[in-house]
Amino acid sequence: MAYTYATLTTTIRDYTEVDDSVFTQAVIDNFIMQAEHRINIELPMDSDRFVQEGTLVADDNTINSPAGALFIRGVEVFNSTVDSTGNGSWLEKKDQTYLSEYTDRLTGPEGDLTAQDVTGFPKYYAMFGGATGLTDTTSGGLYIAPTPDAAYKFRIYYNKQTTGLSASNTTTYISQYFPQGLLYACLSEAFGFLKGPMEMLTLYENKYKTSIQQFAGMQIGRRRRDDYTDGTVRIQVKSPSP
């Protein structure tokens, strides 16, 4: 059974036997938000994968992080200033300290991450700042080295915090394909809010942990493999004792 915003709201109140005088819509919305955020952090899903294309700026060694990005999965730079159909090269992800050392090694002891005289085709990138805003122009993103010597095209592959369930967004991937996990996570939040009964909080917390393990088996297991390439998944079934 898939949930909509309305049916999930009703189900939370039914399971907890708490009416809307205590579980107001604002309180329910907070449960849903916390539950969705927990699921997104604990289990990155294919539905949250996005690709953003852009153009590097010559003599600028930074790229803005995509809006709402949870984490970057990869950066590809193309040997073209026209489009992203040229020969693509994947940048190696390093720490800022590595890029600082790399820049120093090429420019001497006065070099730093902002040095603009080490130019060429980019090879490395490192994360900096929080980049938690909803636009691409937040104070956070990626350092790249060497600093690009031309306006090369690039692609950033990343996972994004998608729009959550609400009165204006009545269904989501999670509410449709992981409804039981969303419900259990919401009920854990709800009984935590009520400060008990502890056995109910423990019950739904354990139910959530079991369900997310099962969902993970599909999301990062079955969805990341196929029978032809990886072979059919085989599960050992013990025969009954004679």
The rounded distance, in Å, linking the Cα atoms of 195 and 190 is 9
How many helical (H) and strand (E) elements, i.e. helices and strands, does the chain have? 7, 10
Q: For 48-76, b where at least 16 C-beta lie within 10 A, e where not — what string?
A: bebebeebbeeeebbbbbbbbbbebeebb
The two structure tokens encoding residue 14:
């039914």
The rounded distance, in Å, linking the Cα atoms of 65 and 140 is 6
142 φ, ψ (degrees, to nearest 5): -130, 135
The rounded distance, in Å, linking the Cα atoms of 32 and 172 is 12
Position 174 confidence tier, pLDDT thresholds 50, 70, 90: very high
Q: Lowest mean pLDDT: which of 109-123, 152-166, 175-189, 227-241? A: 109-123
- Kindly state the percentage of the chain with pLDDT values over 70: 84
Look at residue 155 and tell me whether its pLDDT is greater than 70: yes
Q: How many CB atoms lie within 10 A of CB 140?
A: 15
In this prediction, residues 136-158 reach a mean pLDDT of: 84
Place of tokens 């120093």: 104
User: 204: number of CA atoms within 13 Å, CB side?
Assistant: 22
Per-residue confidence (pLDDT) for residue 101, from 0 to 100: 82
Average pLDDT, the chain: 85
In three-state form (DSSP H/G/I as H, E/B as E, the rest C), the secondary structure along 21-84 is: CCCCHHHHHHHHHHHHHHHHHHCCCHHHEEEEEEECCCCCCEEECCCCEEEEEEEEEECCCCCC
Per-residue confidence (pLDDT) for residue 57, from 0 to 100: 92
pLDDT tens for residues 79-129?
A: 876 666 667 899 999 998 888 888 766 554 444 444 445 788 999 999 887
Residues 147, 112 contacting (CB under 8 angstroms): no
Query: Is it true that the peptide bond before 122 is cis, omega within 30 degrees of 0?
Result: no
Question: Which sign does the torsion angle of CA 102, 108, 114, 118 carry?
Answer: negative
